[in-house]
């Protein structure tokens, strides 16, 4: 997918004027955001579990080479195959070859962000293989030819009526806007796809070094039908998904669903180890794992390493005031919200995404809710420094920041400057009490007035108060 992240501002502006999108996004606050708070309250150990979840991922990231080797050995023991891919192109080619080896015409897919990251669907289609998304949200956006707008709910930007319109066009059935009937239609259509598919492709939430297992988490049961019905199962996962043991997986699973949707546990957590065993009546004959690097080894040991702890729960976007106003598509690539603002520049280059680290108020809520305690604002700040260094921001902004930075590092000078500014603004605004417009601050005053300062800075008032006390 070609990134369109540089258009964040204009896309965010049109998002604000889109009543459908605003209605759809409004549900996140009462749904997932509130759900997370309630789920955390019900589990007294939640904060401690977050610490342990962070530590498990940190430990795995410090020993990824050994854990990947152990994982690979167990997969082979169980009769599966491991394919290593350095970049997106290699991963696409590997998956294509597996599909061709199976003589596949259609493949079913359960939701995988890695498949989105490498643009797998377009590649398979070009190779004459039809990919069918089975997660309901992914199915909807595949029909609309859109990227996902959320990690957990890829179609969260759509209202019920928009889905009703889409299904009426696609399914050739009388229009209905009853969600139960809409879900039923998708169920019926996709049921046939599962049964006809030659290959099933899933992602993985975790890879377990102890057992060589891949774990998927879904609510719909689509991963189980995707990997359980076709004769070949392909897992595509990035390197950092590997963790030491099932015990570690359970700790991470305890914070995953609660952070994502506020559920105690997702409906289906499935641990898959190798192909079908002797005597099994179902299950795939082949089990492949494609391990994708795509720049991640370069993040290890860098200031962005913390980002590799991410377990893709979506809590950061559910709690981000910018995401909740602008929606996911404004971010212009596969990963959205605060985690996307850190990851997208990594994958597409800061030159093509330097708007994203600025799409934040740095309010800190993303870090507050992250189950593995990723310091997201800090990581975005690193990208801001990078864009400043590479002169990717307009010169006026650079000069402004430069001046401010010069003053901020010289407290006496800073106080003098603010004292002068406050004094001037205080005198100018004494009459009306507010400013409707100010030079250099049009962006701020265009939608609101600036209250006029009363003439003294905080530091001045503080000193006066101290003096009058003594």
Q: Which of residues 33-62 bind another protein (CB under 8 A)?
A: 43-45, 48-49, 52, 56, 59, 62
Cβ-in-10-Å burial (0-12, 13-18, 19+) of 279 comes to exposed
Q: Binding of another protein at residue 281 (CB under 8 A)?
A: yes
Asked if 343 and 308 touch (Cβ cutoff 8 Å), the reply is no
Q: Which is nearer to another protein, 24 or 102 (CB)?
A: 24
CA atoms within a 13 Å half-sphere pointing along the CA-CB vector of 112: 32
**Binder of another protein out of 1, 4, 22, 31 (CB under 8 A):** 31
Size of the site for another protein (CB under 8 A): 103
Q: Interaction with another protein in 3-22: which residues (CB under 8 A)?
A: none
CB of 169 to another protein, least distance (A): 16
Residue with tokens 């005597």: 279
Cβ-in-10-Å burial (0-12, 13-18, 19+) of 198 comes to middle
Q: Binding of another protein at residue 179 (CB under 8 A)?
A: yes
The span from the CA of 52 to the CA of 391, in Å, is 40
The span from the CA of 408 to the CA of 415, in Å, is 9
Q: Interaction with another protein in 237-266: which residues (CB under 8 A)?
A: 239, 244-248, 250-251, 253-254, 261, 263-266
Q: Interaction with another protein in 357-376: which residues (CB under 8 A)?
A: none
> Where does this chain touch another protein (CB under 8 A) — which range of 114-122, 185-193, 328-336, 415-423?
185-193
Q: Interaction with another protein in 325-344: which residues (CB under 8 A)?
A: none
Q: Binding of another protein at residue 76 (CB under 8 A)?
A: no
Q: Interaction with another protein in 80-99: which residues (CB under 8 A)?
A: 83-86, 90
CB of 400 to another protein, least distance (A): 37
Q: Binding of another protein at residue 298 (CB under 8 A)?
A: yes
Asked if 333 and 6 touch (Cβ cutoff 8 Å), the reply is no
> Residue 135's closest CA among 256, 267, 259?
267
Q: Binding of another protein at residue 225 (CB under 8 A)?
A: yes
Beta-strand relationship, 106-109 and 206-208: unpaired
**Binder of another protein out of 88, 207, 209, 330 (CB under 8 A):** 209
Residue with tokens 């957990």: 152
Q: Binding of another protein at residue 191 (CB under 8 A)?
A: yes
CB of 421 to another protein, least distance (A): 47
CB of 380 to another protein, least distance (A): 23
CB of 217 to another protein, least distance (A): 9
Q: Binding of another protein at residue 183 (CB under 8 A)?
A: yes
326-361 in b/e form (b: 16+ CB < 10 A) is: bbbbbbbbbbbbbbbbbbbbbbbebebbbbbbbbbe
CB of 190 to another protein, least distance (A): 7
Q: Which is nearer to another protein, 188 or 437 (CB)?
A: 188
Find how far residue 196's CA is from the centre of its chain.
32
The span from the CA of 77 to the CA of 273, in Å, is 10
Q: CA–CA distance from 276 to each of 78, 79, 83 (Å)?
A: 10, 9, 19
**Binder of another protein out of 22, 297, 445, 460 (CB under 8 A):** 297
> Residue 35's closest CA among 146, 152, 121, 120?
152
Beta-strand relationship, 450-451 and 434-435: antiparallel
CB of 328 to another protein, least distance (A): 14
Read off the tokens for 44.
């007294």
Q: Binding of another protein at residue 64 (CB under 8 A)?
A: yes
Q: Binding of another protein at residue 221 (CB under 8 A)?
A: yes
CB of 308 to another protein, least distance (A): 12
Q: Interaction with another protein in 134-173: which residues (CB under 8 A)?
A: 134-137, 140, 153-156, 158-160, 163
The span from the CA of 369 to the CA of 260, in Å, is 10
CB of 11 to another protein, least distance (A): 22
């Amino acid at each position: 997918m070609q990134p369109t992240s540089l258009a964040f501002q204009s896309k965010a502006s049109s998002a604000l004027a889109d009543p459908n999108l605003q209605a759809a996004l409004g549900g996140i606050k009462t749904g997932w955001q509130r759900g997370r708070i309630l789920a955390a309250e019900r589990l007294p150990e939640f904060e401690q579990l977050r610490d342990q979840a962070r530590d498990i991922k940190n430990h795995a990231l410090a020993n990824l080479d050994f854990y990947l080797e152990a994982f690979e050995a167990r997969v082979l023991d169980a009769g599966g195959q491991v394919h290593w891919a350095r970049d997106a192109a290699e991963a696409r080619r590997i998956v294509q070859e597996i599909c061709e080896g199976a003589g596949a015409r259609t493949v079913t897919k359960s939701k995988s962000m890695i498949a989105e990251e490498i643009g797998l669907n377009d590649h398979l289609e070009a190779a004459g293989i039809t990919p069918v998304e089975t997660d309901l949200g992914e199915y909807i956006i595949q029909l609309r030819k859109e990227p996902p707008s959320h990690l957990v709910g890829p179609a969260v930007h759509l209202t019920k009526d928009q889905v009703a319109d889409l299904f009426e066009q696609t399914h050739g059935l009388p229009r209905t806007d009853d969600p139960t009937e809409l879900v039923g239609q998708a169920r019926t259509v996709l049921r046939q796809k599962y049964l006809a598919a030659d290959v099933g492709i899933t992602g993985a939430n975790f890879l377990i070094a102890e057992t060589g297992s891949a774990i998927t988490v879904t609510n719909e049961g689509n991963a189980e039908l995707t990997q359980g019905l076709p004769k070949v199962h392909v897992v595509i996962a990035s390197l950092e998904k590997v963790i030491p043991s099932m015990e570690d997986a359970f700790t991470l699973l305890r914070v995953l669903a609660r952070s994502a949707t506020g559920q105690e546990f997702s409906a289906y957590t499935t641990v898959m180890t190798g192909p079908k065993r002797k005597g099994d009546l179902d299950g795939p004959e082949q089990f492949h794992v494609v391990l994708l690097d795509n720049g991640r080894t370069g993040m290890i040991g860098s200031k962005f390493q913390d980002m590799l702890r991410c377990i893709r729960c979506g809590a950061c976007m559910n709690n981000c005031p910018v995401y909740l106003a602008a929606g996911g598509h404004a971010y212009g690539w596969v990963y959205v919200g605060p985690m996307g603002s850190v990851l997208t520049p990594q994958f597409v280059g800061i030159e093509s995404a330097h708007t994203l680290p600025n799409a934040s108020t740095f309010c800190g809520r993303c870090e507050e809710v992250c189950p593995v305690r990723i310091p997201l604002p800090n990581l975005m700040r690193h990208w801001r420094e990078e864009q400043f260094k590479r002169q990717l921001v307009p010169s006026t902004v650079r000069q402004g920041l430069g001046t401010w930075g010069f003053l901020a590092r010289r407290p006496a000078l800073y106080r003098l400057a603010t004292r002068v500014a406050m004094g001037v603004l205080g005198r100018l605004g004494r009459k009306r009490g507010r400013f409707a417009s100010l030079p250099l601050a049009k962006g701020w005053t265009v939608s609101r007035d600036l209250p006029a300062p009363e003439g003294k800075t905080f530091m001045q008032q503080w000193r006066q108060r101290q003096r009058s006390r003594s």
